[in-house]
């Protein structure tokens, strides 16, 4: 049966991160993940994880700087020093709380120089994270939500993973982004499974709870089970109102 992780970047945002972790545990999630936890003392996050028995699956590198305020900076030429400082910050924080993955965000960029910049920064991140048993993730984002983002397709991501030559570099496959940009997300996830490190989901196209929209997630979760994917799936959606009121899909899955 599928297991699920609450993405606390979108769920229970009215709470502090430690309290959101506790809310996710009460709701029946199997794990948690978040975006940018860096303003929260490490001891408070560690305590909430210990109290609940949940694992923190992943965090993101910082979004950017005044020079690159978008979704990260690791593919932005001339910002290598800032990008690597963000990577060091993420590895230190993730190691301290026992997080499994770090999503290294590429930023708004294009062209060969951006690709080379991204590759070298990813290799740096992988080498820094490997001694801690942490995987580095990259995620294609759709152009509607993230115009100009460097990484825009699963094909591009798979190519970069191959070029980087690091065993702990993986794809974060988000059904929401892939379905909006490429379509046939269910077929693509099967083909890409060997390089996938984490899977996320939300309704298409409104990024709401996964109980409506263009993708029927019941068969999606069943197919992932059939493929042998057992890691918790990341619920990264924007609830329309209170998070607790959006969890009918989770309760239905738990009762199967």
Q: Are the CB atoms for 253 and 221 separated by under 8 Å? A: yes
Q: Which residues contact 92 (CB under 8 A, 6 or more apart)?
A: none
Rg, Å, the chain Cα set: 17
Count of CB atoms within 10 A of residue 254's CB?
A: 16
Does residue 7 contact residue 236 with C-beta atoms inside 8 Å? yes
DSSP state of 6: E
Q: 174 — alpha (psi -120 to 50), left (phi > 0) or beta?
A: beta
Among residues 33, 179, 236, 244, which one is catalytic?
Answer: 236
Q: Choosing from 14, 44, 80, 139, which is the catalytic residue? A: 139
First vs last Cα of the chain: how many Å apart?
8
Please state, as a whole number, how many other Cβ atoms lie within 10 Å of the Cβ of residue 59. 25
Whether 234 and 198 have beta carbons less than 8 Å apart is answered as: yes
139 is catalytic: yes
Which residues, in sequence order, are CB contacts of 167 under 8 Å at separation 6+?
A: none
Active site residue 236: yes
Residues marked active site are found at: 139, 236
């Amino acid at each position: 049966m599928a297991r699920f992780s609450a993405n606390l970047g979108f769920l229970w945002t009215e709470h502090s991160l430690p309290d959101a972790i506790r809310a996710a545990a009460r709701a029946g999630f199997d794990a948690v993940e978040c975006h940018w936890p860096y303003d929260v003392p490490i001891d408070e996050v560690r305590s909430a994880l210990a109290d609940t028995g949940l694992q923190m699956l992943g965090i993101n590198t910082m979004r950017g700087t005044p020079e690159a305020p978008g979704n990260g900076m690791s593919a932005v030429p001339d910002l290598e020093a800032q990008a690597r400082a963000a990577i060091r910050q993420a590895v230190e924080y993730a190691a301290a709380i026992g997080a499994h993955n770090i999503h290294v965000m590429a930023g708004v960029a294009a062209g060969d120089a951006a690709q080379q910049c991204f590759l070298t920064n990813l290799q740096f991140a992988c080498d820094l994270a490997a001694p801690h048993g942490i995987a580095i993730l990259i995620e294609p984002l759709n152009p509607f939500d993230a115009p100009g983002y460097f990484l825009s397709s699963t094909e591009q991501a798979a190519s970069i993973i191959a070029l980087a030559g690091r065993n702990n570099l993986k794809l974060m496959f988000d059904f929401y982004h892939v379905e909006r940009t490429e379509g046939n997300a269910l077929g693509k996830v099967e083909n890409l499974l060997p390089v996938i490190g984490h899977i996320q989901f939300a309704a298409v196209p409104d990024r709401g709870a996964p109980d409506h929209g263009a993708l029927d997630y019941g068969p999606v979760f069943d197919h992932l089970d059939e493929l042998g994917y057992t890691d918790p799936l990341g619920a990264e959606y924007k609830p329309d109102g209170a998070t607790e009121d959006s969890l009918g899909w989770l309760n239905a899955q738990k009762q199967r």
